[in-house]
Amino acid sequence: MNTNDLKDRIVDYLVRQSEQSGDKIIIDAVEMSKAVNCNTQEVRRILNYLSENGFVVSEELMHDTFKVIIKQELFEIKENGGFTRQYELLKMQYEQLQLEIEKLKNDFPEKFAEGTSTINNIIDIGKSMLSAVSFFVNINK
């Protein structure tokens, strides 16, 4: 399963609930799992992920019942296309960086060997971007 898609469905669910009840909502994980088509363990993991990353404040009240406070960051991630969109943008930037490096190699082969420190810096930036992409993919911390 695409975890970004699942995160986006959960974000949509939380935003819809907050539109009806305000920024402090009570979530039943069983009900939510049915609404977003996943299991309760996935709901728990993603609520934990969203909480750890500052999108919500989540507190388990009883088994499978959570008090969730929606933070502005959750609305912003939704307004900006969600986790799937953010991942796609970062992926495109990384691929563009790879293409630019290949173009530099082809356009200036003799200079490329001399400028390896600059190229290594560019590659390090690309690796950092790839790490950022993994932030949007990995929910199993």
Burial of 99 (0-12, 13-18, 19+ CB in 10 A): exposed
Number of helices (H), then strands (E), in the chain: 7, 3
The 10s digit of each residue's pLDDT in 46-101 is 999 999 999 999 999 988 999 999 999 999 999 999 999 988 888 888 888 878 87
- Collapsing DSSP to helix, strand or coil, 139 comes out as coil
CA distance 129 to 122: 11
The predicted pLDDT at position 73 comes to: 93
The predicted pLDDT at position 104 comes to: 72
The 10s digit of each residue's pLDDT in 3-26 is 899 999 999 999 999 999 899 999
The predicted pLDDT at position 131 comes to: 65
Q: How much is the pTM?
A: 0.72
The 10s digit of each residue's pLDDT in 101-115 is 777 777 766 665 565
CA distance 132 to 57: 22
The predicted pLDDT at position 113 comes to: 59
Give 129-137 contacts, CB < 8 A, sequence gap 24+.
129/90, 129/93, 129/94, 129/97, 130/94, 132/90, 133/87, 133/90, 133/91, 133/94, 136/4, 136/83, 136/86, 136/87, 136/90, 137/3, 137/4, 137/87
Q: Is the pLDDT of residue 137 over 60?
A: no
